């Protein structure tokens, strides 16, 4: 397995994210997806000596990179916890933090994850078909393919990968498994999908959508995102910023709808004369990478960053 320092990562929308996030340099911030620390390191540069940054990541290798070797962070204002952002409240409680002045979620898969064949995220390298963000728990993609029936496979590949040939891919996977040779590696899956998917957009590998679907499913990424957004809303102080960078339409749709929903004033139709429930977020911006960044880092081309601001604290919940 590649070492945490062997693989490099280029952080997407680095300056734009930190510019949008930090409004109180003496405040407390949460990086919910540490990765290889690009956002965290710049954020620490923007904080005052009394500021604080709590980081979390569900990837053990990311935590190791932050705590050991040449890439470790030695700043006393920084701490990191091994967990997912769906459980960020627990990590903050362990750090003695109740509310934060800004919260960042970068939903992309990091280059070290993609480029390490042992992680099984990419069809560009042959390796075990794992795909788990947290390799200490859960079911690998290969294990899922070994047990799922045709209906389950079709639903996952269609719903999470938006693959119009999902049924054909599912049939091929089941047929191979029933023949006594289930798919266990990224190369085997890529070859199988290439034979099952007859047409594809120019410049896109036929396996792209299937790999995306399995990764999202294995890691429960959309469910984690919905839980994380809800937790973020409860943790932000008034005026605190929520910054989310997504990389495909399924994620961005969830973020967009969440911000829109929480930006509306609610009226209880059962009690029309009761006071309106004020909105809890205010949408600030939608930002895409510029041409220069996309040329330098093609993986940035699909990124969308949404920024919102907390407008109040729920009644009965102390700040």
Distance CA 90, CA 79 (A): 14
Calculate mean pLDDT across residues 248-266. Answer: 93
CATH superfamily placement of domain 137-218: Putative methyltransferase TM0872, insert domain (1.10.150.170)
Per-chain mean pLDDT for the chain: 91
Q: What is the pTM of this model?
A: 0.90
Read off the pLDDT of each residue in 282-299 and give the average, rounded to a whole number. 94
Give me the CATH code for the 14-112+221-310 domain, please.
Answer: 3.40.50.150
| Rounded mean pLDDT, 237-263 | 97
Residue 196 pLDDT > 80, yes or no? yes
Positive or negative CA dihedral for 215, 40, 313, 94?
Answer: positive
Distance CA 87, CA 94 (A): 11
Per-residue pLDDT reduced to its tens digit, 86-105: 999 999 999 999 999 999 99
Strands 281-287 and 78-82: unpaired
Average pLDDT over residues 221-237: 97
Report yes or no: 196 and 168 within 8 Å, Cβ to Cβ: yes
Residue 310 clears pLDDT 60, i.e. is over it: yes
Parse the chain into domains and list their residue ranges.
14-112+221-310, 137-218
State both tokens at 317: 């919940």
For 244-255, write each residue's pLDDT tens digit.
Answer: 999 999 999 999
pLDDT at position 314: 53
Kindly report the number of other CB atoms within 10 A of residue 78's CB atom. Answer: 21
Taking only the tens place, the pLDDT of each residue in 156-194 is 999 999 999 999 999 999 999 999 999 999 999 999 999
The angle formed by the CA atoms of residues 199, 205 and 207, to the nearest 5 degrees, is 85
What is the gyration radius of the CA atoms in the chain, in angstroms? 21
Q: Give Dmax (Cα) for the chain.
A: 67
Q: What is the reported pLDDT for 7?
A: 45
CA distance 123 to 206: 10
Distance (Å, whole) CA 103 – CA 191: 40
The residue that leads in pLDDT, 146 or 275, is 146
Residue 300 buriedness (CB in 10 A; 0-12 / 13-18 / 19+): buried
């Amino acid at each position: 397995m590649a070492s945490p320092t062997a693989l490099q990562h280029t952080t997407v929308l680095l300056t734009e994210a930190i510019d949008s996030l930090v409004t109180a340099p003496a405040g407390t911030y949460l990086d919910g997806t540490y990765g290889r620390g690009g956002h965290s390191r710049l954020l620490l540069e923007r904080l005052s000596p009394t500021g604080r940054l709590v980081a979390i990541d569900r990837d053990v290798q990311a935590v190791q990179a932050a705590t050991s070797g040449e890439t470790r962070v030695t700043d006393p204002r920084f701490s990191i916890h091994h967990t997912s952002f769906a459980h960020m409240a627990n990590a903050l409680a362990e750090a003695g933090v109740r509310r934060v002045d800004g919260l960042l979620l970068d939903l992309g898969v990091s280059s070290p994850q993609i480029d390490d064949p042992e992680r099984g995220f990419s069809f560009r390298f042959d390796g075990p078909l794992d795909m788990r963000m947290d390799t200490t728990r859960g079911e690998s993609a290969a294990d899922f393919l070994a047990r799922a029936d045709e209906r389950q496979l079709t639903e996952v590949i269609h719903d999470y990968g938006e693959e119009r040939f999902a049924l054909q891919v599912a049939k091929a996977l089941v047929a191979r498994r029933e023949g006594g040779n289930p798919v266990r590696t990224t190369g085997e899956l890529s070859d199988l999908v290439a034979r099952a998917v007859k047409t594809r957009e120019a410049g896109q590998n036929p396996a792209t959508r299937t790999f995306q679907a399995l990764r999202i499913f294995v890691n429960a990424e959309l469910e984690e995102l919905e839980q994380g957004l809800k937790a973020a809303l409860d943790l932000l102080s008034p005026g605190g910023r929520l910054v989310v960078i997504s990389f495909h339409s399924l994620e961005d749709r969830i973020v967009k709808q969440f911000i829109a929903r929480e930006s509306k004033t609610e009226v209880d139709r059962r009690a029309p004369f009761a006071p309106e429930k004020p909105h809890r977020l205010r949408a600030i911006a939608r930002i895409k990478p510029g041409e220069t960044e996309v040329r330098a880092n093609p993986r940035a081309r699909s990124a969308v960053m949404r920024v919102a601001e907390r407008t109040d604290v729920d009644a009965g919940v102390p700040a």
